[in-house]
Structure 1
Amino acid sequence: METALWHPFSDMATVSEHEFVIDRGEDVWVYDTDGNRYLDGTAGLWYANAGHGRAAIADAVAAQMRKLAGYSIFGDFANEPARALAERLSGLAPMPDAKVFLTTGGGESIDTAVKIARRYHVAQGEPGRVHVISRAQSYHGTNGIGTGVAGIEGNRAGFGELLPSASRVRYDSVEALREEILRVGPERVAAFLFEPVIGAGGVLLPPEGYVEGVVRVCREFGVLAIADSVICGFGRLGTWFGVERWGVEPDLITFAKGVTSGYLPLGGVIAHGRVAEPFFARPGNSLRHGATYSGHPTCCAAGLANLDVLEGEGLVGRGQALEGELASALEPLAAHPLVAEVRAGLGLLAAVELTPETLAALPSAVTELQLLARRQGVLLRPLGTALAVSPPLTVQPEQLRQIGTAFADGLDELRLKVESTVD
């Protein structure tokens, strides 16, 4: 039966009659409607950091809904969960006197951060600073601005130019950023967007010195450095926001996903006190931006309960503690003839890239490998020419090895398919 549900990023002509329906979850496991169990090697969509089925989060949400399910925080309105969450995140942030603007997800957080950056420059007497620079292969959500700055070219194609004042540079070169700022003109550049580790663009780890270098270049030219920590935050890299591993102070940090471990939609932007100052200290300088559900009390209650779990169980540090285990589990795959590269070793995320020859012989190879791993009881995420791994932070070393085994067995089966196409 054809579904009425339109799936994101999906070829509905293929998916519409072949949905894979997840029914329930427990810790690192999810179950389909036939009762089959799968190791969730993707943490949902990079977000189930605390694992599935957390009663403490569900109970906090239910209690808040019985008390005050939702209310706007426009103007002088507020609610206690939103206030408490903002205070807590401000205290965790790697910059002084941080202020928190709450949103409903990562894409909305990117739009918010860029608008804050542009308005900050207006408030500082530099209204010409509107240009935004991002990186090749970067993913910054699918809202208007996020699509406009996308470094994954396929995500921009077909929509027209959504953000004319934007450009992209090599993802691995500090000098490329400097050259682009000079080409555009420093007086026109508002912000530079970077993921500490590029996620959806292929799990691309930054070269040594890169993060520190780009933040330094931004400071030199008065450009705001926006760390997109939507994927990298809340333990994925072993710290609260990921960027702490490089000892830098971004001007703005976007977050979402792991802030609630996906239990409810929530995101936000953390602003350095210096960036927030024009809005907090100068009457009449309001930011005319916000969403109906910004600061939604039930979503914030989920966030607070999730932070309690992450902190109380020491899960945040596991992203770093287990990075070596994950790399060891996947490292043997690098010798497989279908594999071009294994990218791992920085946080609890990794990717296995297939060779160009494999993809030329079997263009559907990534999808085929995903399905083969699924039959082995492991869920992986396709990323163009690679498959990604990003399990919940509760994962155990033996489960990481199970992911590696499913990959290896799937690759062996895939090799037979590839060889049959060549023959």
Structure 2
Amino acid sequence: MTLTDSFVPTTSGAVLDGPALWSAQAHMPSVIGRQLVIERGEGSYVFTSDGRRLFDGTAGLWHANVGHAHPELARAAYEQMMRLETYHVFQRYANDRALELGELLASLAPMERAKVILNSGGSDAIDVACKLARRHWQREGRESKQIILSREHAYHGLHAYGTSIAGLSFNREGYGTESLVPETARISFDDLAEVEATIERIGADRIAAIVSEPIQGTGGVNPPEPGYLEGLQRLARQHDLLLIVDEVITGFGRTGEMFASQRYGLEPDLVTFAKGVTSGYAPLGGVLVAPRVWEPFYLDSPDTPIFRHGATYSGHATAAAVALKHLEILERDGLVARVRELEGVLRTELSGLAQRQAGVVEARVAGFLGGVALDERIDAVRVADRLIELGFISRPLRGNTLQLSPPFIVSDQEVAEYVSAIEQTVAEETQR
């Protein structure tokens, strides 16, 4: 008997006796008894407890960029734990791995002379970045600048700030107010004139920052309209707002550059990162901070303020050791350059799919990220379930869209087979 067998409900009441684990982002009555228990991984594939081998077409949650069960990363974690599992980085304490990783990340950052705040993941990073944006303006004596602007359809994690700035309304609902943190507002995800109108309506003297994903992920894999991100940067500079770029998905090679900010010519004030910094082998995230924001906190004066950030696992030594080895692998194996090749392969395959299959409304590609938007008469959830039967993992997103973001180590043939499986399932649904 497998783990899932023991929890398959036989009546509606049996759902209440399901597993103790409360699954993330799940309608629990719908998933109890249907859960896929992943018990191991190998390269671009994962294996379930009931014996299925599945192509990981989403790289987990956009993170397994170097694939699963990489022996060098496992060894790096083991060796670091045998030396020092971790030590905190509060006040005068630090650990050598966190310091080493900070220097490397600063050298890769899309801004000059960056400082690095480390924490445990992307949601942590967004909370810190939004707090720091507000703290920046309070320190400047401009107390009214408190509002954080974020885009329609945006996803920025689910901590309090990420929930509050979500452009997916269902992630903000149910807490008694329109936004957990009230000083937030949404802007158009593709229309700069509307963005400027929103800034004028609210008043730049009340706005602390604009936060944006370079390529929207959970919102439907939406590449930016030409000039949109550059326009956001221009508006931020024009109105004296901080620009926060959320690179939790796009950072560390997913767009064919180390950061998507470099692909789109951005010079952010703050960059959030996570996922791809370790390929998910250890929970790690953080914020890259430009001099405009960090310098006042470094002045040699008793009046210099403290930015009150930090968590127990900020700068976790083992996570940092894994990140260092992972970034070494990315460079050594030429995986960022490989992403540029894979982008072309994915674009060709999805272009053909869209031309051949009437059930596909649009195929979107930016870097090694793809979104297949389906006709509204086709259920993306059902398509994703059918893909699992065929041995492939995708994920339904906003806009009836399928997510494609395989690991960087896949072959051209595997990409073609993945898209072919999507075509088969869409054709089946079209004929229903």
Quote the residue 1:332 is aligned against: 352
Matched, 1:349 2:363: no
Quote the offset at 1:237 in angstroms.
0.4
- Asked whether the 8 Å contact 1:3–1:17 carries over to 2, the reply is no
Quote the offset at 1:84 in angstroms.
0.6
Which of 383, 391, 397 is matched with 1:369 structurally? 383
Deviation per CA, 1:107-141, whole angstroms, max 9, x where unpaired? 11001001111111112221211101000000000
Quote the residue 2:225 is aligned against: 207
Deviation per CA, 1:328-368, whole angstroms, max 9, x where unpaired? 11223324232221111x20011111122x15xxxxx1111
Quote the residue 1:311 is aligned against: 331
What is the identity, as a one-letter code, of the residue corresponding to 2:40? R
Q: Distance in 2 between matches of 1:12 and 1:83?
A: 42
Q: Distance in 1 between matches of 2:112 and 2:419?
A: 41
Matched, 1:378 2:385: no
Which of 87, 112, 117 is matched with 2:103 structurally? 87
- Asked whether the 8 Å contact 2:254–2:368 carries over to 1, the reply is yes
Deviation per CA, 1:182-225, whole angstroms, max 9, x where unpaired? 11111111000011100110000111111111111101111000
Q: Distance in 1 between matches of 2:430 and 2:174?
A: 34
User: Structure 2: where are the runs of 5+ without partners?
Assistant: 1-6, 8-17
Quote the residue 2:136 is aligned against: 120
Matched, 1:78 2:94: yes
Q: Distance in 2 between matches of 1:86 and 1:176?
A: 38
Quote the residue 2:13 is aligned against: none
Q: Distance in 2 between matches of 1:282 and 1:266?
A: 30
Q: Distance in 2 between matches of 1:289 and 1:260?
A: 22
Q: Distance in 1 between matches of 2:116 and 2:324?
A: 14
Q: Distance in 2 between matches of 1:318 and 1:230?
A: 20
Q: Distance in 2 between matches of 1:157 and 1:274?
A: 35
Query: SS at the partner of 2:336?
Result: coil
- Asked whether the 8 Å contact 2:57–2:406 carries over to 1, the reply is yes
Q: Distance in 2 between matches of 1:265 and 1:225?
A: 25
What is the identity, as a one-letter code, of the residue corresponding to 2:236? C
Q: Distance in 2 between matches of 1:18 and 1:187?
A: 51
Quote the residue 1:155 is aligned against: 171
Q: Distance in 2 between matches of 1:143 and 1:96?
A: 29
- Asked whether the 8 Å contact 1:329–1:403 carries over to 2, the reply is no
Please list, as runs of the form range in 1=range in 2, the aligned pairs for 1:255-294 lying within 5 A after superposition.
255-281=273-299, 283=301, 284-294=304-314
Please list, as runs of the form range in 1=range in 2, the aligned pairs for 1:2-21 lying within 5 A after superposition.
2-21=18-37
Q: Distance in 2 between matches of 1:166 and 1:373?
A: 38
- Asked whether the 8 Å contact 2:54–2:393 carries over to 1, the reply is yes
> What is the number of equivalent residue pairs in this alignment?
410
Q: Distance in 2 between matches of 1:34 and 1:162?
A: 41
Q: Distance in 2 between matches of 1:175 and 1:320?
A: 32
- Asked whether the 8 Å contact 1:90–1:98 carries over to 2, the reply is yes
- Asked whether the 8 Å contact 1:49–1:234 carries over to 2, the reply is no
State TM-score, norm by structure 2.
0.93
Q: Distance in 2 between matches of 1:34 and 1:416?
A: 30
What is the identity, as a one-letter code, of the residue corresponding to 2:277? V
- Asked whether the 8 Å contact 1:238–1:316 carries over to 2, the reply is yes
Quote the offset at 1:290 in angstroms.
1.5
Quote the residue 1:97 is aligned against: 113
Which of 146, 163, 175 is matched with 2:193 structurally? 175
Q: Distance in 1 between matches of 2:341 and 2:266?
A: 21
What is the identity, as a one-letter code, of the residue corresponding to 1:222? D
Which of 245, 248, 260 is matched with 2:263 structurally? 245
Q: Distance in 1 between matches of 2:148 and 2:345?
A: 37
Query: SS at the partner of 1:322?
Result: helix
Deviation per CA, 1:237-295, whole angstroms, max 9, x where unpaired? 01111110122210100000000000110000000122111112254311112211110
Q: Distance in 2 between matches of 1:216 and 1:348?
A: 27
Quote the residue 1:420 is aligned against: none
Quote the residue 1:362 is aligned against: none
- Asked whether the 8 Å contact 2:117–2:288 carries over to 1, the reply is yes
What is the identity, as a one-letter code, of the residue corresponding to 2:393? L
User: Structure 1: where are the runs of 5+ without partners?
Assistant: 360-364, 418-423
Quote the offset at 1:317 in angstroms.
2.3
- Asked whether the 8 Å contact 1:148–1:163 carries over to 2, the reply is yes
Deviation per CA, 1:42-67, whole angstroms, max 9, x where unpaired? 00100011111111111111111111
